[in-house]
Structures are given as C-alpha cells and as structure tokens.
Structure 1
Amino acid sequence: MSFLSIAADVLWILALSIMAGGARAAWRRMDADTLVPMQGRWRLPRNAALVLPVVLAFLLGMVLLWGHRSTGDLSYSVIFFGLRATLAAIVAMLHLQWLKGALATLEAEGALKS
C-alpha cells in the first residue's frame, strides 16, 4: 500500500462524506412520502433517491480501490491516483448539482418543509 493509494482513499472518504452530508440535509427537509425527481422525468421515494447515489459512488470507489491496490508499478499507481482523485471530486460535484436541482424542483412544488 503506497502513499498515493492512501491519499486517494482520503479524497474518496471526503467526497462520500460531502455527499452523505448533503443527502442528510435534504432528508430533513422532506416528508417520508416525498417523491424526489431524478434525471429525466422519473422520481424515486425519498429513501431510495437520497441513499442510492451515495451507495453507487461507494461502489465505484471500491472498484477503483481494487484496481489501484492490484497494481505494483509506480507509474500505474500515479495514474490510478489521478483517476481516483479526479473522479472523487467529479462525483461529489455532480451529486451536489443534482441535489440542488431536485431541491429547487421540490421547493417550487411546495413539497419541502420550512
């Protein structure tokens, strides 16, 4: 296990904690029966809509972690670090952007708590 692998782990942990924190804040503003807008025209119940993106990001992080830890060459380790660091930031930003849009839609519909 190299320093680059550990640093990438830290970045994924930070990204997942940002995503979970945003989902938790949104969770508190919704009733249990709220249908949250997803991409496109479909909606999911609050429980699934707020947990599913975080779980999928975790699984993506685990796949990348496995790939990173299975390489022994320094050049591959640097490439995986760059990939994991970049994807951690992108996934967190996409999640926050989606959450902002979903909350704006729900706010316009009057489906959020004050």
Structure 2
Amino acid sequence: MSTETDTRRAPRRQVADLVPVTDMMAEAVIGRLGNVSETGMLMLASVPLQEDALYQLQFAIPGPHGQPLALDVGAHLLWCEQTHAPGQAWVGFRFLTLGREHREQLRAWIAQETSAA
C-alpha cells in the first residue's frame, strides 16, 4: 500500500466552524479549513495558490481546555480545483512538518468527532 493511500485513509474531522488559515510567509488569511487529518487538510482557498508549492500555514483548533490552540504546519499543496464561486478553489495539502505536541492535540481533536459519530 502506498504512503499516499495511507494518508488519504487517515481519520478526518469535518470542520463546520469558520476556521481561518493563515499563510505565515504572506502574513495573510488565504482561506478556511474544510476538513483535517493528522497528515493533511482540505481548504477552501480565497486567494490564488501555486500547485506543487510549499506553504507555512497556521490555523487554530480547540485546545485541551477549549482555548484556541494555534497549529503551525509546513504543507505541500498537492492539488487545486476551482469552485463555482469566482476566486475560490478547493485545495488539498499534505503536512510536511507538524510538531509532536501539536500532532497529538490534532489527533485528540479528530478522535473526539470520530467517537461522537
């Protein structure tokens, strides 16, 4: 089984709330989270992005006590698909870097939804 298949099967959490995603290099919000796993994420981009490029992104999830926990991730943009809305696209990222503590927090948050389903 390929690594790509493995990462595509990782448990995902659908994100109903409006969770902005910031490009740390541009210091600007570039979209909002669609769903996330510990290996990558789907994002609705509100600015044009470069396919096969590397990004340093930040988004927040609820921490262990409900407080926002900002996650910094290095991510590779794998694919991009335009939506029907002008200037928006669905984009898929694979995480390249995510600190161990943040990965554990993300895994716990994803597991909360999985167990509630």
What is the TM-score normalised by the length of structure 2?
0.26
User: Where is the strand percentage greater, Structure 1 or Structure 2?
Assistant: 2
What is the TM-score normalised by the length of structure 1?
0.26
* More RCO (CA 8 Å, sep 6+): 1
- Rg bigger for which structure? 1
User: Where is the helix percentage greater, Structure 1 or Structure 2?
Assistant: 1
